[in-house]
Amino acid sequence: MAEFDLIAIIRQRCASARGDVVLGIGDDAALLAIPPGQMLAVSTDTLVAGVHFPHDTRPYDIGWKSLAVNLSDLAAMGATPTWATLALTVPAADAAWVGEFADGFAALAREFDVALVGGDTTQGPLCITVTIHGFIPSGAALLRSGARVGDGVYVTGTLGDAAAGLRLTQARASQRAANLPAPGPQPSALALIQRLNQPMPRVAPSLLLRGRANACIDVSDGLLADLGHVCTASGVGAEIEAEELPASEALLELFERDTRGALQLAGGDDYELCFTMDEAHAAALLLDLARSGDAITKIGRIVAEPGIRVRDAEGKALAPPRAGWEHFT
């Protein structure tokens, strides 16, 4: 098994038929056709083993997640994904591992009609870098800097699930390490672990936010951290109602209120969208979302005073949990 055999496996499993790929994998560079009137949106995200996912994560899930986190960044811009490149560093030329990895990547690529058009394959500690490309009509991008005082603050889906899934995974790992019995996870636990391992980027809702949302970001590092970026970029602040934060059935079942709140406010890896919008757009957006089956929840509002304040049901200020994940701290 050599580098070119691994590339052949990836190429075969990720085959796609997009007409705008003039030249895909196989030459020194891909050639891609951008339709007139469209801007190219480009974003890169790296996943490092042991940092972004536990070492024993299944290769299928690593492949899925490496594309999902990138798709989520494009969703946060309101872009339609089109092409990806994949820089894959693996410790060994393991055909079975690479095949499963490519299957996970390809499953999500097919779902959103993304063509894998190139990459690089090297040996070293497991690390995956994906660059994603997409189209957006000129002037339609959803920026972090557009939030306005008086906007509602909204999120898609539910918050805290992936961080809860990580806790459950880690608890099981330490049980196993201590040779304690670790019974198979219950359905609710499985649902949370699934949200950690196979996040679903909010591509469909993102396209409905064009022309409606004033600002948007994906929740990768935790709501407070990511909404904080929106507030900083927009020169505004936000007030969040803790009671309004959307929680999944599984999170409600397995975690007490305080832990839940901390996971929802500061837990990373959910890949939901957080956006701000003039409430005049809410009714039409809800109607469109009903068709795609996606949910949104209003969790607060944009205010002039900088910083984010979180309030409980009685309107009392809550001390926020430590803000989201940051490298080098």
Per CB under 6 A, which region of 21-29, 57-65, 71-79, 316-324 contacts ligand ADP? 21-29
Nearer to ligand ADP, 130 or 227 (CB): 130
Residue-level length of the chain: 329
Q: Is 7 or 216 the residue whose CB approaches ligand ADP more closely?
A: 7
Q: How far is the CB of 200 from ligand ADP (least distance, A)?
A: 23
**Is 113 near Mg ion (CB under 5 A)?**
no
Residue 127 binds ligand ADP (CB under 6 A):
no
89, 120, 69, 124 alpha-carbon torsion, rounded to 10°: 10
| Residue 248 to residues 158, 253, 266, Cα–Cα distance (Å) | 6, 9, 16
CB of 196 to ligand ADP, least distance (A): 24
Handedness of CA 70, 299, 293, 189 (dihedral sign): positive
Give the residue with the Cβ less far from ligand ADP, 94 or 239.
94
In this structure, which amino acid lies at residue 280?
Answer: A
Read off the tokens for 76.
Answer: 């946060």
Contact between 25 and ligand ADP by CB under 6 A: the answer reads yes
CA 216 to chain centre: 13
Q: Which of 7, 62, 213, 296 binds ligand ADP (CB under 6 A)?
A: 7
- Per partner kind, with CB cut-offs from 5 to 8 A, the member of Mg ion, ligand ADP, none near residue 238 is none
Beta bridge partner(s), residue 46: 129
Q: Which does 21 bind (CB under 5 to 8 A by kind): ligand ADP, Mg ion, none?
A: none
Beta bridge partners of 128: 47, 88
Nearer to ligand ADP by C-beta: 37 or 124?
A: 124
Reported as half-sphere exposure (CB side, CA atoms, 13 A), residue 15 has a value of 4
Q: Which stretch binds ligand ADP (CB under 6 A): 115-123, 126-134, 141-149, 155-163?
A: 115-123
Least CB distance from residue 289 to ligand ADP, whole Å?
34
What is the four-CA torsion angle of 78, 81, 82, 84, rounded to 10 degrees?
A: 130
In the chain, the amino acid numbered 135 is F
Nearest approach, Cβ of 102 to ligand ADP (angstroms)? Answer: 8
Q: Cβ 49 to ligand ADP, closest distance in Å?
A: 16
Cα–Cα distance for residue pair 36/80, rounded to 1 Å: 15
Q: Are 98 and 9 in contact (CB under 8 A)?
A: yes
Can you give the C-alpha Rg of the chain in angstroms? 20
Figure out which of the listed residues 116, 163, 296, 308 binds ligand ADP, where binding follows CB under 6 A.
116
| Contacting residues toward Mg ion, per CB under 5 A | 120
| Contacting residues toward ligand ADP, per CB under 6 A | 7, 10, 25-28, 86, 88, 116, 118-121
